[in-house]
Amino acid sequence: MASEPAAGRRDAVLESALLTFARHGYRKTSMDEVARAARISRPGLYFLFESKETLFRAAATRALEQDLAAAEQILGDAGKPLRERLAGAFDRWAGRYVGPLSRDVTGVIEQNPELLGAIVETAPARFEALVTDAIAEVTGRAMATRVAQTLISASVGLKHQVETRDAYLGRFTTAVELLVPQKA
């Protein structure tokens, strides 16, 4: 069988680590806890990441980048109607972090911006740019900017209003229907 690329295990550790950090927050999560959850020894964790802070930054960055890449791919899928693509992209970007468990993932990122640096601001900005570009397929650029900003505001609000991913998706879909013209 093909040997996994060296980054494979690293990647799995990062994914598990973010969930572990999300449970009790950055401070109250020990490297031992992270290591056990990743089925790895604690020194092994230090072999992969030089410090707790580095690990956290890498885990959060990876999640952000992957969601962004997924959103970009969904938005670029020329086969589906724009409205559907927008719903998919927002679901990936925000909706999947709605439930009581998943909310903590967003929380641990938002509550430790000083550890993460610029990405906490650049990633949302890039998401907005992706959404704007997609909407610009069917409207002028100026209108696309306004629609995208309003959709994002509605999405942020919904994350605070609803309890389930389904509720998020349902109400976000109405927002899309109201704001995004159907392709003629």
Partner DNA sequence: ACTATACGGACTAGGCAGATTCTGTAAAGT
Partner DNA sequence: ACTTTACAGAATCTGCCTAGTCCGTATAGT
Residues lying near a copy of itself in the complex (CB under 8 A) = 146-147, 149-150, 152-158, 160-161, 171, 174-175, 177-179
Which helix (H) or strand (E) is 121 found in, with range?
helix 119-135
Cβ contact 108:26 at 8 Å: yes
Cβ contact 135:179 at 8 Å: no
* Nearest to 90, CA basis, from 76, 111, 74, 108: 74
- Measured from the CB of residue 178, what is the shortest distance to a copy of itself in angstroms? 6
CB atoms within 10 A of CB 80: 13
- Residue 144 interacts, among DNA, a copy of itself, none and using kind-specific CB cut-offs from 5 to 8 Å, with none
Give residues with Cβ within 8 angstroms of 126, minimum separation 6.
68
- Residue 73 interacts, among a copy of itself, DNA, none and using kind-specific CB cut-offs from 5 to 8 Å, with none
Residues 125-154 vs DNA: string with x where CB under 7 A?
Answer: ------------------------------
Nearer to a copy of itself, 101 or 156 (CB): 156
Nearer to a copy of itself, 45 or 147 (CB): 147
